[in-house]
Structure 1
Amino acid sequence: MLLGSAIFVMCFFADLGFCQDFGYDGTIGPNFWGERYQNCGHGKLQSPIDIEETDVIVQKFPPLIFKNFDEPLESVHLKNNGHTVVVSISGGAVPSISGGPLAGTYNFSQLHFHWGKTDEEGSENLINNQSFPLELHMVMFKTDHGSFAEAANETDGLAVLSFLYIATSEDNENYEQFAEQLLLVQDVGSSVDINGFVSLDDFTTTDRNHYFTYRGSLTTPPCSEVVIWIEFKNTIKLSHNQLQEFRELSGQEGKLEHNFRPIQPLHDRVVYMNSPE
């Protein structure tokens, strides 16, 4: 158990979120992750999943409470870690979330993205077997556990807020600054600091009453089953050109054109859908 915990912390903190010995193709692709990381191959609470609306249980959860989501971010750090692009907060108030299916308060750790080669695929979680061109994962840790490292080893330690995107013909003005900075982190290991970033409300969406939630895992090694997923139904619009900026990033083996894990078996898990009505 101690060895597993050490591996988890080492992997998760490597470049803010990921082990370095995996990829999305060939012998280091998702089909081979389980050879080194047991949860990836034998876990029963793995993510992502296909959310079938006909099979969910509708439930009215308490309202989600978002703190500091409406404030512009003073300073953020943007980095290409070879697997995705990661945004962490380097200055200013830390956003947090509570309520809904969460028992306690969860603080912001980082956010990152998953995408595909075309506008027809790229998201990790599916809804009614439909894929989306981009998915944002906002990783939060439970403050009751004291620190991210401690929370990352608890069954309720992490919450991931997941947002899906659709392609449109017009640019999203809230992403203009972000898209410009993506050009500066095309190389693996490159990073840039951004001052005066938009608020998380503007970067995602304020329509957050309708969502799915389930118990799951990280979608990259070590695939630890410590995540409460909140998948929002409302989508975010990005133009094709803005989506294409993600596909121009470099990975460890050339262009990082796709970085999504295939869906995993649901087993006996229940997926809930929050319905304020």
Structure 2
Amino acid sequence: MIMVFSIVYLGLLFLPGFCRGQNFGYDGDQGPANWSKEYHTCIGKHQSPINIDEHNVTNVSLPPLKLIGIDNPHQSYVTNTGHTVTLKINESKAVMLSGGPLRDTYVFEQLHFHWGENDFEGSEDLINNHSFPMEMHAVFYKEDYNSFKEALNYSDGLAILACLYEVSSQPNPTYESIVKVLPEIEKKDMGKVLQEPLLLESIFVPDIAKMQDYFTYSGSLTTPPCLEVAKWIDFKDHQQLSHDQLAAFRDIRNWEGNKLTHNFRPVQPLEGREVLHNIPSSHNSNGHSGQRSVKIPILFVALGALVAIFLFNI
């Protein structure tokens, strides 16, 4: 167990926000408005998050987005980094992402959460200027670059799946195992292995039928050093969490020892970037590509043959 958490700690050194130290926060002199004083890349032209205006997106039909390995249970552990709650799995290259706007295969590195001090704000990306109480980012690095750290050096280094959450009157059982251990990782650098293996499918795509309905754009990390190395994929379908589940995250303490009641970066200028909306179609909404389009021509061929035989016999 000690070895496991040693690996966790080393991994955290290379997470967004740990690449060049920990001198940032979400309030006052160390808040987002001042990040660029130490991290000059935070004033780039392709920064994240953004407001996604559904009236100004380009509708497209991209190849099917594919996630491999999410239907296998994985031993997982969560850690308080001082800036967020991060979840990682033990297996190397166990979960892979490809398709959609991606030209290559990407490997799952970690997922983490952003939240607000109440149930009316907290997400980083906005939809039609509407904020949600929480947002999850699942971070993948390009397989060709062999590691998350190396991928940060390339403009196509990362792919990030983003999921937005709404408040529900009932708790979401999928997240109970995570919420349950939050009091045990209240302080920075504390970590905890989840008792039961986690099925990432239930977190990434609880409704597989809606997996191909998403927005995508090119952007950056949303924490310093704000490197512009990410292809963002924001699922249009929203997940549900109860008020109590959301509130449990606000008891996490930051690297200064204060409660981390909010940890979201304000939206950044779009700067002429194009936001695409992938429209699900028959060829990318299920795993039976093309079957329906093939059956109709065959039916017409068979009917034509029968007619020909009938006429010939006359």
* Alpha-carbon separation, structure 1, partners of 2:244 and 2:12: 31
* Alpha-carbon separation, structure 1, partners of 2:58 and 2:215: 9
Correspondence for 2:53: 52
Correspondence for 2:124: 124
Correspondence for 1:259: 263
* Alpha-carbon separation, structure 1, partners of 2:253 and 2:23: 16
Q: Deviations over 1:231-268 (max 9, x none)?
A: 00001111111111111111124110000000000001
Which piece of structure 1 moves more, 242-251 or 91-100? 91-100
Correspondence for 1:7: none
* Alpha-carbon separation, structure 1, partners of 2:42 and 2:69: 34
Percent identity of equivalent pairs: 46
* Alpha-carbon separation, structure 2, partners of 1:262 and 1:176: 28
Correspondence for 1:228: 231
Partner of residue 37 from structure 2, selected from 35, 38, 51: 35
Which piece of structure 1 moves more, 232-241 or 141-150? 141-150
Contact persistence 1:16–1:86 (CA under 8 A): no
* 1:274 lines up with 2:278 in the alignment: yes
Cα distance change on mapping 1:13 and 1:184 into 2, 3 Å: closer
Letter in 2 for 1:68: G
Contact persistence 1:15–1:81 (CA under 8 A): no
Which piece of structure 1 moves more, 199-208 or 246-255? 199-208
* 1:62 lines up with 2:67 in the alignment: no
Aligned pair count reads: 265
* Alpha-carbon separation, structure 2, partners of 1:236 and 1:50: 19
* Alpha-carbon separation, structure 2, partners of 1:220 and 1:231: 18
Greater helix share, 1 or 2?
2
- TM-score, structure 1 normalization: 0.92
* Alpha-carbon separation, structure 2, partners of 1:72 and 1:16: 24
Instruction: Give the 3-state SS of the residue equivalent to 1:259 in structure 2.
Output: coil
Q: After the TM superposition, which residues 149-188 of structure 1 pair with which residues of structure 2 at under 5 Å, given as runs?
A: 149-188=149-188
Stretches of structure 1 that go unaligned for 5 or more consecutive residues are 1-10
Q: Deviations over 1:207-242 (max 9, x none)?
A: 311000000000000000000000000011111111
* Alpha-carbon separation, structure 2, partners of 1:220 and 1:122: 14
Correspondence for 2:13: 14
* 1:249 lines up with 2:252 in the alignment: yes
* Alpha-carbon separation, structure 2, partners of 1:154 and 1:270: 20
How many Å apart are 1:195 and its aligned residue?
A: 4.3
Contact persistence 2:78–2:178 (CA under 8 A): no
Correspondence for 2:200: 200
Partner of residue 23 from structure 1, selected from 16, 22, 25: 25
Letter in 1 for 2:29: T
Greater strand share, 1 or 2?
1
Which piece of structure 1 moves more, 99-108 or 193-202? 193-202
Letter in 2 for 1:58: N
* Alpha-carbon separation, structure 1, partners of 2:195 and 2:157: 30
Contact persistence 1:118–1:133 (CA under 8 A): yes
Correspondence for 1:217: 220
Letter in 1 for 2:56: D
Correspondence for 1:5: none
Instruction: Give the 3-state SS of the residue equivalent to 1:255 in structure 2.
Output: coil
Is the radius of gyration larger for structure 1 or structure 2?
2
* 1:100 lines up with 2:100 in the alignment: yes
Which piece of structure 1 moves more, 196-205 or 148-157? 196-205
Contact persistence 1:76–1:91 (CA under 8 A): no
Instruction: Give the 3-state SS of the residue equivalent to 1:196 in structure 2.
Output: coil
Letter in 1 for 2:273: R
Letter in 1 for 2:231: I
* Alpha-carbon separation, structure 2, partners of 1:50 and 1:270: 12
How many Å apart are 1:198 and its aligned residue?
A: 2.3
Contact persistence 2:76–2:198 (CA under 8 A): no
Letter in 2 for 1:247: R
How many Å apart are 1:93 and its aligned residue?
A: 6.3
Instruction: Give the 3-state SS of the residue equivalent to 1:47 in structure 2.
Output: coil
* Alpha-carbon separation, structure 1, partners of 2:179 and 2:72: 20
